[in-house]
Structure 1
């Protein structure tokens, strides 16, 4: 037993070893107390994230919009989208199917307008570029088009489409823009009753005829939960193009236009947002918000380059894509415009801030070998999600399909505009109609097929590496055929699947002409669908969204992710289209992915080394050749069913 005096001495004069242990224990206890205190404080004090101020700003902008909606009549006017009559179901036969599906709260764009409408089967065939073939033979020379034909016999792999839904525009804000910029004075060049010295504030430009809006391209903005649309607004008196602008609008999940709403600029600093919000709270002057937000609808105020050309001024064929591979996701608009006596491709970023008093900056796209005076258009943009992430504060790169016949791909910097060639080799597929124009051109952007779907198809081919360098995209291209029997010019959409295996791009699937069951209005007489009344033009503009579920169980087997059976998915796609360069419509499709996957029952996703090399060019060339022939034949058949009937004779 230890005596009390000894115990006191031990406590007052511990050995060095004991002293060290006591100090360490005390420090540990202090650290634990501080940690607990900090955790307790976190329970009662809010943690501010970088997005909080932006969320607060979005809430303010939404309240401002709701306050300005006005009367019930104005609210009704905002709901302007209407269904168009597709008349006879020319190319898609079958009984319309009506579903009743609740909207998806996680994906608001899957609204009742999309889910609970009638869908009709699409009767369309395609041509395949990945079918197994004797390696000793040539895919282009030794294959026949009927051998490459794909038409799904599985009812669950047949695409379906809704009726087209018209998206009109009353040109709100156009007068203000033309007066503010002075572009309204250009009317004096074409109107004798319009004086060059006229007071622009007294002119109602929207009352003049011959305004045309088409090429409407749209993307979904996940943070703002709206569809952002960029379309071409053309003024062409007596069919002579004079001015062209990029029109900006936003739509809700049911495709009703939202007027008077503001969207926050993606690059607005938090300090500026706080300052603008504070200024507006005190003044209630909306101009205080101009530095951090953009109001819709409106005109994209870019430089029209008046020195380059007297007629036509302005951008053409806008395409809008969503860049979600950079540090700051944002929409990108690609368009063509006059430059140095030719026509060049440009980029602009509609949700980036514009310096006060200046035009919206644009970025010219060019390669080192591209000289002045070239005529560029119909570039097809897309992103590769397998590319490395760009450095901080950099936008990264965007790919463009420069041409499909032959398949040429560029990679362009979104920061400098410089492009370099990724793939250019290949021979052009011959024109099946000799010297009569028959070509395949760009249409929509290309949308990546989700990685989990690609990995599932790779596993079916025995590839277990989740990072295997193979990527797939979906898009819609168009054929332009002259003098095929229906007007002078004939345009139709075609579904396309492009694949990149290692460093080689190819076309695995290209469909025949698609009309979605529409009798297309004639170019010269919009009340007519007859080929006798001018060009017959149906253009694909953009894939507004493509929603794909996870794999659903196969009814014929136990659910197995490693199954060799081709998987099924539920998917919905929104495609914007234009008829006769006259309007903008949206159409909804189902089973697009199932249709695509069904094609791989007849082929393989992973090609051998020989095919990935030189032979892949022959495969793509053959597919293009078959589609050109089929499109010409489609036009001939369509013209026979759309001729004006002879006048009735009276005995």
Structure 2
């Protein structure tokens, strides 16, 4: 509109004088006017196209409303025993012989026992104590990773300048990063958390992906954008700097991924709005058609869905949807996340992603906290299906395409199993991925192990209270069930306050401990002991590593031959009640100690 007005002004004022001048001058000026008008009209058209590629104001306002239920505040943790991971330089690493990943450091560590409770589903009793089994669990001293966030952001700044997949994203930071680095205020605006990792046995390394979020102020709950940061660690959990991982040639080309680096996940973003980028990533390994394990990532992100209404008009809708990313595979462009084709991105290479879409259903406005797993018994010879627990309270399981995709935009999902009709999501939510027992131990049972989390609002001494729970999921043909779920397990990891004071929590604080992922689970062939490695976030600050010894022996003592018609509602109710009791007791103790 502005450019059109300029064209009219040009004609009325400049053009009038032109035709009053000499004939030769009139011809030259007429040509100039014609060229000027052509350029202005072209710019006007281009400007209108650019505007059309970004959602309307109401779509941005809708996106701004996506402040997550689970948004957590930040706490300083300098008083913790930080994991001092060494930095090791590395050359290009290709496939090597398979390794268990169990280092002498893990095997010789000091493991201490503590008690916890597991609730069963097979007992027909109204009394929770009849469903409770007391067990002991052994784990080492937790080790928070000591990340140098300044160095992380220097990596980001380098990619914003030199990596074509990140150059346009640079405008979200408004040129502030060099200034923040110079002033030493990076930690006021960038936060690294929610690390999840897998053991790449062919490379003998751990691949970790964590979330790095940016906020213009210093309030983590109002982040502008989140990005995913990839790192490599050896089996002793020493950080591998300048690690070049050669992607198998089966995927075409001779591509190498360098770590540490930010992963080029495509996502929708705009100058206006907040909460852009991938969040709550969950890594897991799948067996692909080329015969090796491949890391895939499940995450949620804001996206734009574009459709045509009955009147033939384009309709845009801003949503928070679930996605899957194949980290070893690529795509060009990002129309499948942005809802509109944009020529600026057509030739840019990103990680391959698809939106997880339930067939026959409208896309909900908000989706998150799905729990992924695969079934090794279906491999032929690769994993063709991905399963996701959609709801833990009233168990619902989705089955989604993992290979043989029929769309460049979505992975088609179906509601494979539902214990009951859809209902409001309760306090038990997704946590880590689920690990098939058959990949760790010899077993006839189709069972998976993972850690979910409970989430209570205004409980005890906190605004919100989160804790991890062990869960065991079983399958019998096309049916699923939860047979065992534990009471909250703290793993002796303290949840700290927001401001780094001596308080343990407060009415305006989120008291948080969440298990992000199961990094590794192997049996030592010499001793028969198994070691399970977990990553955590405490108070949404940083990443924490912890090893659990002989968790498999606890599972061996559980009865997995429960009749399939046994109701499990009472078990779930007991877990929720026990969690609330512990939460309230924590609040009472904090008040008694005067640190509330």
TM-score (norm 1): 0.65
Output the CA distance in 2 between the equivalents of 1:358 and 1:85.
40
Match of 2:297 in 1: 333
Which one of 347, 355, 365 corresponds to residue 324 of structure 2?
347
Counterpart position of 2:395: 407
Query: Shift of the alpha carbon at 1:407?
Result: 0.8
Deviation at 1:165, TM superposition (A): 1.1
Q: Given the alignment, which residue of 104, 111, 126 partners 1:112?
A: 104
Matched, 1:127 2:129: no
Structure 2: runs of 5+ lacking an equivalent: 1-77, 83-96, 304-316, 333-346, 406-410
Say which of 163, 168, 175 aligns to 1:182: 168
Alignment deviations for residues 195-229 of structure 1 (CA, whole Å, 9 cap, x no partner): 8xxxx878749853221111100000011111001
> In the alignment, is the contact (CA less than 8 A) between 2:452 and 2:468 conserved in 1?
yes
Residue by residue over 1:132-158, the C-alpha shift from the partner in whole angstroms, topping out at 9 and shown as x without a partner, is xxxxxxx4xx53211110113xxxxx3
Larger radius of gyration: 1
1:525 maps to 2:503: no
Matching residue of 2:561: 606
Query: Which residue, 316, 333, 339 being the options, matches 2:279?
Result: 316
Q: Distance in 2 between matches of 1:472 and 1:550?
A: 22
535, 541, 549: which one aligns with 1:590: 549
Deviations 1:308-354 (A, max 9, x none): 97212111101100113643420001100012322111011112245
- Give 1:278's aligned residue: none
Select which of 169, 174, 184 maps to 2:147.
Answer: 169
Aligned 1:300-311 pairs, distance under 5 A: 300-306=263-269, 310-311=273-274
CA distance in 2, matches of 1:446, 1:490: 23
Give the whole-Å Cα distance in 2 for the aligned partners of 1:299 and 1:411.
30
Q: Residue 475 of structure 2 is aligned with which of 500, 504, 514?
A: 500
State whether residues 438 and 628 of structure 1, in contact with CA within 8 Å, keep that contact through their aligned partners in structure 2: no
Distance 2:265 2:421 in 1: 38
Q: CA deviation at 1:122?
A: 2.3
Q: Which residue of 2 aligns with 1:145?
A: 128
The structure richer in strand per residue is: 2
- Residue 375 of structure 2 is aligned to residue 384 of structure 1: yes
Residue aligning to 2:582: 634
Match of 1:248 among 205, 230, 235: 230
Structure 1 residues 626 and 477: CA distance shift in structure 2, 3 A: same
Cα 1:627–1:428, aligned 2, differ >3 Å: closer, same or farther?
farther
Q: What residue in structure 1 maps to residue 414 of structure 2?
A: 420
Aligned with residue 257 of structure 1, among 239, 245, 257: 239
Query: Which whole-Å deviations, capped at 9, do the CAs of 1:468-519 have from their partners, x for residues lacking one?
Result: xx40111000000111112110000001111112322111110000111122
**Whole-angstrom distance in 2 between the partners of 1:428 and 1:521:** 36
8 A contact 1:251–1:257 mirrored in 2: yes
**Cα distance change, pair 344–269 in 1 and its aligned pair in 2 (3 A):** closer
Compared CA separation, residues 186 and 508, structure 1 to 2 (3 A): same
Q: Which runs of 5 or more residues in structure 1 are unaligned? A: 1-81, 87-104, 132-138, 153-157, 189-193, 274-291, 431-436, 459-469, 553-568
**CA root-mean-square deviation:** 2.9
Aligned residues: 456
Deviation string, structure 1 residues 536-561 (Cα, Å, up to 9, x no partner): 01010000011125798xxxxxxxxx
2:260 corresponds, among 286, 289, 297, to 297
Cα distance in 2 between the residues matched to 1:116 and 1:108: 16
Aligned residue for 2:111, secondary structure, equals strand
Runs of 4+ in 1 over 6 A off after TM superposition: 200-203, 427-430
Between the aligned partners of 1:546 and 1:302, the Cα distance in structure 2 is 28
